[in-house]
Amino acid sequence: MKTEKIITALNGYLVVVMLLVLTALMLYGFISNNMILGVASFLIFVLLTKGFIVVSPNSSKVLLLFGDYKGSVKQSGFFWINPLYNRTSLSLRARNFESEKIKVNDKMGNPIMISVILVWKVKDTFKATFEVDNYENFIRIQTDSAVRKLAGSFPYDHFEDEKATVTLSTNFDDVNKALEHEVTQRLEIAGIEVVESRIGYLAYAPEIAHSMLRRQQASAVVAARHKIVEGAVGMVESALKLLADKDIIEFDEDRKAAMVSNLMVVLCGDSETKPVINTGTLNQ
């Protein structure tokens, strides 16, 4: 398989000087009735003028001679090449590509919506021109394929797979590295360099988004309740110990149980508690 070949073209300004000399010879030939010199100078002049090319910064020219690849000019400037070369311009600038939001299944089979942002540029002009039919369309299709494979390799979050070390919604660096590796491998055949690849959009599909949100909210409520109960038990334990150490009041088991119950209700209740004043004895 051929690879890119960088060639150095002739400085165009040197050929401009040659054209000036040919112009002088052509005029001299016509004035002196030397038609051979005049006509030959004219034909060479026309032929040389067709060999000029201008290469802008971060651009290139791919050169062919009767279907045979001769090389690529990547240096910017004003040059002269063989007038018979067929030239194809190719941009070397970095470009952005944002894929459409597509519906795919994650590792656990849940439908999700995902899109990616790809920053790329042409690295090998030969591969980009001749190894694939249309490299821009090739990038779109291969990126879409890489996204589908990535989504099926990881769960969306830890709710579905608690043992997962990497998930799509939390481990962005790891997921983006995996995506970049996958896209780079697929685009290598087209001579494309992946500068950056990252997830641009990620969400559950609309048909399950509401259910997943309720599940996440329920999990958050359970976690919050667990923390509240854990803190309340510690506060009750501390209160009973402090009362006992200072001999403020003596509790039998029934009174201790009643106090623990009341304190847990006060500390764990959702609504504000209303105090009840006992005007009798502690046993009433």
CB neighbours of residue 159 within 10 Å: 15
Mean pLDDT of the chain, nearest integer:
82
CATH number of the domain that residue 166 is part of: 3.30.479.30
Distance CA 51, CA 255 (A): 105
At residue 190, the pLDDT reads 92
pLDDT top residue among 78 and 163: 78
At residue 284, the pLDDT reads 47
Print the domain residue range for 105.
Answer: 95-204
Tell me, yes or no, whether 182 and 107 share the same domain: yes
How would you classify residue 46: left for phi > 0, otherwise alpha for psi between -120 and 50, otherwise beta? alpha
Tell me, yes or no, whether 21 and 121 share the same domain: no
At residue 195, the pLDDT reads 93
pLDDT tens-digit series, residues 101-133: 888 888 888 888 899 999 999 999 999 999 998
The residue out of 50, 70, 90 marking a domain boundary is 90
At residue 277, the pLDDT reads 55
Has residue 274 been placed in a domain?
Answer: no
Sequence letter at residue 41: S
Among residues 61, 115, 59, 119, the alpha carbon closest in space to that of 92 is found at 59
- Across 24-179, where does the E strand assignment appear? 52-55, 59-65, 68-73, 77-80, 86-91, 95-98, 102-105, 111-122
Tell me, yes or no, whether 103 and 167 share the same domain: yes
- Judged against a pLDDT cut of 60, whether residue 280 lies above it is answered with no
Has residue 282 been placed in a domain?
Answer: no
Sequence letter at residue 111: P
Tell me, yes or no, whether 107 and 188 share the same domain: yes
Tell me, yes or no, whether 108 and 198 share the same domain: yes
pLDDT tens-digit series, residues 210-255: 666 666 665 566 666 667 777 767 777 777 777 666 666 666 666 6
Residue 74: alpha-carbon gap to chain centroid? 27
Has residue 5 been placed in a domain?
Answer: no
Has residue 215 been placed in a domain?
Answer: no
Tell me, yes or no, whether 104 and 74 share the same domain: no
Has residue 273 been placed in a domain?
Answer: no
The residue out of 70, 90, 110 marking a domain boundary is 90
Euclidean distance between the first and the last CA atom of the chain, given in angstroms as a whole number = 97
Has residue 234 been placed in a domain?
Answer: yes
Total domains present in the chain: 3
Distance CA 40, CA 17 (A): 17
Tell me, yes or no, whether 100 and 196 share the same domain: yes
Distance CA 129, CA 209 (A): 43
Tell me, yes or no, whether 196 and 149 share the same domain: yes
- With vertex at residue 166, the alpha carbon angle to CA 162 and CA 170, rounded to the nearest 5 degrees, is 90
Tell me, yes or no, whether 52 and 39 share the same domain: yes
Q: Which long-range contacts (CB under 8 A, 24 or more apart) does 176-183 make?
A: 178/150, 178/153, 178/154, 179/116, 179/146, 179/147, 179/150, 182/146, 182/149, 182/150, 183/118, 183/142, 183/143, 183/146
Tell me, yes or no, whether 160 and 187 share the same domain: yes
Has residue 227 been placed in a domain?
Answer: yes
Tell me, yes or no, whether 74 and 128 share the same domain: no
Which residue(s) pair with 69 in the sheet? 64
Has residue 61 been placed in a domain?
Answer: yes
Distance CA 168, CA 157 (A): 6
Among residues 2, 5, 8, the alpha carbon closest in space to that of 55 is found at 8
- With vertex at residue 66, the alpha carbon angle to CA 63 and CA 68, rounded to the nearest 5 degrees, is 60
- Judged against a pLDDT cut of 50, whether residue 33 lies above it is answered with yes
Residue 167: alpha-carbon gap to chain centroid? 16
Distance CA 219, CA 222 (A): 5
At residue 264, the pLDDT reads 65
Tell me, yes or no, whether 103 and 172 share the same domain: yes
What is the reported pTM?
0.68
